[in-house]
């Protein structure tokens, strides 16, 4: 038996917040009876298998009415090193664009400030 606790979002959707794989074990269990555990959560036979998706985290959900379980996949923030690299890249692109703009303004200024032929 596996014990789960969850935060109810609707009558048919709850986010699983706690999982214990051996809740009734005398040494590794939660130190509660089955009846006590059922007051704060559910006992289930097994969990569905989560898919591995790059850049995604699997969030386990539970339907308290049907006892159905499923995963929803959410984006995982990029690691700090990857975000720093991205910021550096954008910064370099912005610097180049700024230099290009300054060069264009200087060329325009030179064209406008040249003496006009009479």
Task: Return the half-sphere exposure (C-beta side, CA atoms, 13 A cut-off) of residue 4.
Answer: 20
Q: Residue 112 to residues 105, 107, 116, 117: CA-CA distances in angstroms? A: 10, 9, 9, 12
CB-CB contact of 19 with 13 (8 Å): no
Share of the chain above pLDDT 90, in %: 63
Q: What is the pLDDT at residue 44?
A: 92
Query: 19-62 pLDDT, tens per residue?
Result: 999 999 999 999 999 999 999 999 999 999 999 988 899 999 99
Cα dihedral sign, 90-95-96-100: positive
Q: What is the pLDDT at residue 108?
A: 87
Residue 47 DSSP symbol: -
Residue 50 DSSP symbol: P
Residue 51 DSSP symbol: P
Of 2-6, 11-15, 104-108, minimum mean pLDDT range: 104-108
- Distance, in Å, from the CA atom of 99 to the CA atom of 118, rounded to the nearest integer, reads 34
CB-CB contact of 74 with 57 (8 Å): yes
């Amino acid at each position: 038996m596996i014990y789960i606790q969850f935060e109810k979002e609707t009558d048919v959707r709850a986010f699983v917040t706690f999982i214990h794989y051996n809740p009734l074990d005398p040494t590794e269990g939660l130190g509660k009876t089955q009846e006590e555990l059922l007051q704060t959560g559910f006992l289930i036979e097994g969990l569905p298998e989560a898919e591995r998706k790059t850049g995604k985290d699997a969030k386990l959900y539970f339907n308290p009415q049907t006892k159905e379980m499923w995963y929803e996949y959410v984006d995982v923030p990029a690691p700090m090193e990857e975000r720093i690299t991205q910021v550096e890249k954008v910064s370099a692109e912005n610097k180049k664009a700024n230099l290009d703009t300054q060069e264009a303004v200087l060329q325009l200024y030179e064209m406008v400030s040249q003496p006009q032929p009479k």
